[in-house]
Amino acid sequence: MGSAARHVVRGHGARRRNVGRHRPRQGGFAVIHRIVVGISGASGAALGMRVLELLATVPCVETHLVVTRAGRQTLAHELGDAALKRAEVLATAVHPVNAIGDTVASGSFPTSGMIVVPCSVRTLSAIAWGLSDNLLTRAADVHLKERRRLVLMVRESPLHLGHLRSLIQVTEMGAIVALPVPAFYRLPERVEDIVDAVARRAIGHLGLDLGLNAEPWEGLVDARRAAGETERSSPARQRTPAGSPP
């Protein structure tokens, strides 16, 4: 069943990552976390790329990438023509979205979880109502039926009633809906900071100890101290009161 997967062979390109090296061992066996990463056509391709980049730094992680046709278009539009190739190089194995009989389509293929990032409402709806019409939605359905972690980073706004019902449906089925909401309380300075924090939160929802989780929140006072501030005023507080001298 796995013949359709195009495995990325390390050592034949400029970027090499030996997945079998330096794996932590437990009871004499290498501990491997297989994670399926799906990228659909919603805006936010940088989030999917950052998830792949972070997971590629962990020797015990094996990533299996599935990109929809719309996802390919969004990657090229938002990150450039070379983005898809970079995503494929970061992954351990690349599975064509139309290869419905591939390894990740079977519950007998063990995985530690799956992230769809970004997740379009079209993909959300297909998962919510069991429409396994491509490998991404089939793999997601497998994770639900096998009671494995499935994280959906749905990227859409505003939402109509149908969207909300799909969100409720997948949540009741066991999926985790992780909206890409920026953590402004961390005082990010760049867009990259926001993307990194959101990606780390998504990975954290897999419940695996990979050392990639965002720094824990230590409270407002400690955050200000870390930023070298004793008080942070909003722009509204800095305005000159009406009737006051300039």
On whether 226 is known to bind a ligand per the annotation, the reply is no
User: Does 121 carry a binding-site annotation?
Assistant: yes
Angle at 168 between CA 196 and CA 137, to 5 degrees: 65
To the question of whether residue 120 is assigned a binding role by annotation, the answer is yes
Strand 6-7 and strand 93-94: the pairing is antiparallel
Is 232 annotated among the ligand-binding residues? no
Tell me if 3 is assigned to a ligand binding site: no
- Two structure tokens written together for 235: 């722009």
**What φ, ψ does residue 34 adopt, rounded to 5°?**
-90, 125
DSSP string, 125-183: HHHHTT---SHHHHHHHHHHHTT--EEEEE--SS--HHHHHHHHHHHHHT-EE------
CA-atom Rg of the chain in angstroms: 20
The verdict on whether residue 69 carries a ligand-binding annotation is: no
Q: Is 43 labelled as part of a ligand binding site?
A: yes
Judge whether 42 is annotated as a binding position. yes
201 labelled ligand-binding: yes
137 is in an annotated binding site: no
Q: Known binder of ligand: residue 157?
A: no
96-to-44, 139, 169, 190, 230 alpha-carbon distances in Å = 21, 12, 27, 34, 53
111, 128, 132 from 177: Cα distances, Å = 19, 12, 19
Beta bridge partners of 37: 65, 115
Binding-site residues for FMN: 41-43, 68, 120-123, 155
Binding-site residues: 41-43, 68, 120-123, 155, 185, 201
Binding-site residues for dimethylallyl phosphate: 185, 201
